[in-house]
Amino acid sequence: MNVLLTALLSEGSIIDLDGTIWVQLGLFGIAFLLYRPLIFRPMVALFEARENAIEGAKLEALRLQDEAAAETEEFQDEMRRLRLQAGEERDRLRAEGRRLERTVLDRVREETEKQLAEADARLAKEAAKLRSELDVSVPMIARQIATKLLDREVQ
């Protein structure tokens, strides 16, 4: 560190330029020419291949996204169609249920009215029978009441 500091503070240069610079440049040129086909070109090709692979993957990802969006749209269209079809089927089944309900209710109403009419007829018949029995027994009951009230026999 001292040497570096001394070199910087002194007026002399850190690097001396002399004839060895040409030897160093020559060795650099030879090393460059040897390493270029062995190391530099394969590395550049590797970097380009990696870049192309990345770009290809990006393009493939964009294509897959577009494909997924199209399939999602198809799926949504199919879901809308199925929902519409299910709604129509539900409405048809509801209408069928209402029709069946009306049919059953009408049948039950008819049976109920028939049973009520039969019951009314039976009640009317029994009421007429009881009235006729009462008409026969009224004079006898009246005699009994009069006998009890008057404390004597009434005819």
**What was the pLDDT predicted at 8?**
55
Which pLDDT value is given to residue 142? 82
Q: Where are the domains of the chain?
A: 23-150
The pLDDT assigned to 9 comes to 58
pTM of the entire structure? 0.43
- Over the chain (155 residues), the average pLDDT of each successive run of 10 is 58 71 92 91 92 92 94 95 95 94 94 93 90 83 83 75
Q: Which residues of 54-89 are buried (b: 16+ CB within 10 A; e: fewer)?
A: eeeeeeeeeeeeeeeeeeeeeeeeeeeeeeeeeeee
Predicted pLDDT at 137: 83
